[in-house]
Structure 1
Amino acid sequence: MTAPHVDTAGLMPETPVTVEKTVLRSWKSPIALGIFAVLFGLLVFFAPHAGTTNFRLSTQADAIQLGDLAVPVFLTTLICFLLLALLAAASAYFVYNAGRTPLWIVIAHVIVAVVGFLTWAAAGATIPVAGLLAGSLGLAVPLIYGALCGVIGERAGVVNIAIEGQLLAGAFTAAVVSSITRQPFLGLLAAMVAGMLVAAVLASFAIKYLVDQVIVGVVLNVLVIGLTGFLFSQVLQPNAALLNTPARFDRLPIPILSDIPIIGPVFFRQTIIVYIMYFAVALVYVGMFHTRWGLRLRAVGEHPQAADTVGIKVNPTRFWNVLLAGAIAGLGGTVFTIGAGIAFNKEMTAGAGFIALAAVIFGQWDPIKATLAALLFGFASNLQNTLSVIGSPVPSEFMLMVPYLVTIFVVAGVVGKSRAPAADGKPYIKG
């Protein structure tokens, strides 16, 4: 960008002065992707596997049957290593020139790494691709609901550490109500109410009484874990036949779509909870960025003073959106009980709320990106199950650590430069 410079007499313009635009660069993504490539290279060259790996692409119920895909292990892993190195270099190139790594590079890097690792770990065995992906989606569904809850709350300016408690409250309430009524839809509605009640406590203390939001969230998690654990031991266990035998949602295959190989079994042979999740992600994204509701939501989270001056009631807007987020998280809790027909048990959410919170950060407070992050964490969680079934030599203890290692690594590195909403966690005092 150039601008003419006029001398003190104001007569003749002198040589144009060049104004350089400062590019803020974050090298976290290239470094993290480079480390992934190096670690994968160590597998390829220092722990090579021979033979072939078979990928089973179809199930018996598919209308179109695809043959198994057999790939040579060493050649495939070597190609994947080279692609990972190239993608890491491309990330460095984009950061140097544009200041950030495009999302498609991160997605491509993850896909290549997953394909390479599966090929290496399952050498000589057969991987059921549809089963692996369907199981991953099943584990990711509560994470996606929790991530949507976190995105809405933090976009409104309220840090929601209590996602774990809201998921657990939803799971408990859904199990009890559906056990008594034998109506899973009533259990679903009750779970949403339970999530809203936990969110109402968070909103009241954080917004009205200005208590530190992180502390309130932690206390709520401990409270819900303790309360549901006590009720489980004292009430549910002695009356399990009446109170803890939840009715479950049946799978509803969508005609034609459910017969498509790979995609059909994964996305279109699911329960109503999963189909609701598809709509929830789309509605939150469209609503947040293309409606008046979303504009006001983001306004009170970014600059509440400016929102107040144009007539937006900041604290009521925050309060009702935290309640909405709680209802979504409560709905996600139903996956653990009526979604699978499993009886409630103590702490059965097993930290899903905290992984969902990590997905919010990894997804940069965007509903679509947070959903993709939750899917990645769901895949990492299901990977150990699949490799155990096919008899992979990878130690099970290592596979149990994978979801949490991925969570820490991507939040610390791959996410690159990200910024939370400016007023996130800051109470608003009018005047």
Structure 2
Amino acid sequence: MSTTTTAPKPGTPQPGTTRIQGSSAKPVTWKIPILLAALGLVAFVFFGVMGPNQTAKFGISSAGDFFQLPVIEVPAFLAGIVLSVVLLGLAGYAVYLKTRNQSAPRWLPIAFIVVFVVAFLIWLVGGARTPNISLAGLIAGSVTLAVPLVFGSLSGVLCERVGVVNIAIEGQLLGGAFTAAIVASITKNPFIGLLAAALAGAVVSVVLALFSIKYLVNQIIVGVVLNVLVSGLTGFMFSTVMQADPEQFNSPDRLPIVDIPVLSSIPLIGPILFRQSVVGYLMYIAVIVVWIGLFKTKWGLRVRAVGEHPEAADTMGIKVNATRFWNVTLGGAIAGIGGSFFTLVAIDSFTKEISGGRGFIALAALIFGRWNPIGAFFAALLFGFADNLQSIVTIIGTPVPSQFMAMLPYLVTVLAVAGLVGRSRPPAASGIPYVKG
């Protein structure tokens, strides 16, 4: 008599074992639902109940466009009520998902941000003495102000994707701005100044790579020290060299604004995409190239492998520290190009601390964008929008205090780092030095 033993089906609990349902699931926090609910209530009170009764007018076209689009007129009070109710609905949906221990989908906080920004803008314009604003100018100016932030965040993406924390973005931007100004002034050629700015940013990154990768010094400490060092050096050179003879050392020519015929006359998108400086066009190219390089090439696969699991990458024959060194250097060169924007595009001279802490905002854009070049680009645009908005609203005479508008970019930065779009996970090996065993 034979006995046949049937193997248990996969996943079937064995005798003597107990399955704990949901034991592997990560708990969902209340952070996003509470934050969205608080912002929704603020919007309902200020944008809705206390909203202005004027009509906000938004101009889309500008002079010289192929055709003129009509001005958008929005009743501020009604729009505030409707949009704040939408915000409360999105926040309520996030709370509902939390009660079911489900995390909010990625689109939800993004949609909340978009609706909140629109409601905030309508509230500002509707309450101004002159409730009329050029939407085309606002967006174009936001993109322009975001240029150094985009380059700085791309530098951070390249460094952190390979496992090196780049706190020195501020120093790279400042070094690029100083070098671009002095080299372009001496050579009377802004394009040579642009190349020199990239070299200066790369030099700062070489120091970061040397100490953090070869000598295993704490990466955050090295970055902070480099920011202070570059700030001190450029400030000293500005006081002793540039101010002594500004005509010779601090009068660079600006990079030209290049209008692409026909395309630059398209309403709204023409000035944004096809009426930029050389640095502005390089920004778009850099975002596309870095994204393709990281996610569509073998080089990018090696880079991400080094940033996630350097030991496994080493066993596959990838030179971990060499890859990190060259990536950090490349990131510094990109940040240096972003620094040249300050002295070759925005203004035609260098001043102390001209970067104004934008390297740290670029670091926030990197986190907000989830270590992705495209995400970092749009996050930088949001910060540029907040920066540009403070100057626009003072012109139209909004009742909002200027001090509040001045702190708006940094408030957006705090909300971004606090996790408005959910939990951001950096590369697993980010900030961890690798010593080959």
Under a length normalisation based on structure 2, what TM-score does the superposition of the two structures give? 0.92
- Distance in 2, matches of 1:221 and 1:384, equals 27
- Distance in 2, matches of 1:7 and 1:147, equals 54
Give 1:148's aligned amino acid. L
Unaligned runs of 5+ in 2: 1-8
Q: Tell me which of 335, 339, 348 is aligned to 1:333.
A: 339
- Distance in 2, matches of 1:278 and 1:98, equals 40
Give 2:300's aligned amino acid. G
Q: CA deviation at 1:88?
A: 2.0
Q: CA deviation at 1:192?
A: 0.4
Range with greater deviation from structure 2 (202-211 or 62-71): 62-71
Q: Tell me which of 398, 405, 421 is aligned to 1:415.
A: 421
- The alpha-carbon distance between structure 1 residues 149 and 6, as it changes in their structure 2 partners (threshold 3 A), is closer
Give 2:207's aligned amino acid. V
- Distance in 2, matches of 1:151 and 1:169, equals 19
Tell me which residue corresponds to 1:157: 163
Give 1:101's aligned amino acid. A
Q: CA deviation at 1:339?
A: 1.8
- Distance in 2, matches of 1:43 and 1:67, equals 28
Q: Tell me which of 48, 53, 67 is aligned to 1:50.
A: 53
Range with greater deviation from structure 2 (41-50 or 378-387): 41-50
Secondary structure of 2:57's aligned partner: strand
Percent identity, aligned pairs only, is: 54
Q: CA deviation at 1:274?
A: 0.9
- The alpha-carbon distance between structure 1 residues 2 and 33, as it changes in their structure 2 partners (threshold 3 A), is farther
Aligned alpha-carbon RMSD (Å): 2.0
Q: Is residue 308 from structure 1 mapped to residue 314 from structure 2 by the alignment?
A: yes
Q: Is residue 41 from structure 1 mapped to residue 47 from structure 2 by the alignment?
A: no
Secondary structure of 1:368's aligned partner: helix
Unaligned runs of 5+ in 1: 9-16
Give 1:106's aligned amino acid. P
Q: Deviations over 1:93-123 (max 9, x none)?
A: 5566684433332232222112111111112
Q: Is residue 139 from structure 1 mapped to residue 145 from structure 2 by the alignment?
A: yes
Q: Is residue 359 from structure 1 mapped to residue 362 from structure 2 by the alignment?
A: no
- Distance in 2, matches of 1:394 and 1:352, equals 24
Secondary structure of 1:148's aligned partner: helix
Range with greater deviation from structure 2 (162-171 or 276-285): 276-285
Tell me which residue corresponds to 2:412: 406
- The alpha-carbon distance between structure 1 residues 246 and 91, as it changes in their structure 2 partners (threshold 3 A), is farther
Q: Tell me which of 220, 230, 234 is aligned to 2:236.
A: 230
Secondary structure of 2:66's aligned partner: coil
Tell me which residue corresponds to 1:14: none
Alignment of 1:12-411 (within 5 A): 20=22, 22-24=24-26, 25-45=28-48, 47-93=50-96, 99-123=102-126, 125-411=131-417
Secondary structure of 1:158's aligned partner: coil
Q: Deviations over 1:292-345 (max 9, x none)?
A: 111111111111111111111111110000000000000000110112342000
- The alpha-carbon distance between structure 1 residues 370 and 99, as it changes in their structure 2 partners (threshold 3 A), is farther
Q: Deviations over 1:222-276 (max 9, x none)?
A: 0000000000010001111111111111111222321221111222211111111
- The alpha-carbon distance between structure 1 residues 248 and 96, as it changes in their structure 2 partners (threshold 3 A), is farther
Under a length normalisation based on structure 1, what TM-score does the superposition of the two structures give? 0.94
Q: Deviations over 1:47-83 (max 9, x none)?
A: 3211111101110111110121111110011111011
CA contact (8 A) 1:158 1:213 kept: yes
Secondary structure of 1:116's aligned partner: helix
- Distance in 2, matches of 1:299 and 1:205, equals 22
Give 2:217's aligned amino acid. V
Range with greater deviation from structure 2 (255-264 or 275-284): 255-264
Tell me which residue corresponds to 1:13: none
Tell me which residue corresponds to 2:3: none
Secondary structure of 1:414's aligned partner: coil
Give 1:157's aligned amino acid. G
CA contact (8 A) 2:166 2:219 kept: yes
Question: Runs in 1 of length 4+ with deviation above 6 angstroms?
Answer: none
CA contact (8 A) 1:285 1:368 kept: yes
- The alpha-carbon distance between structure 1 residues 194 and 19, as it changes in their structure 2 partners (threshold 3 A), is same
Secondary structure of 2:346's aligned partner: coil
- Distance in 1, matches of 2:41 and 2:14, equals 55
CA contact (8 A) 2:368 2:419 kept: no
CA contact (8 A) 1:252 1:270 kept: yes
Q: CA deviation at 1:19?
A: 6.0
- The alpha-carbon distance between structure 1 residues 20 and 425, as it changes in their structure 2 partners (threshold 3 A), is closer
Give the total of aligned pairs: 424
- Distance in 1, matches of 2:422 and 2:310, equals 27
Give 2:340's aligned amino acid. T
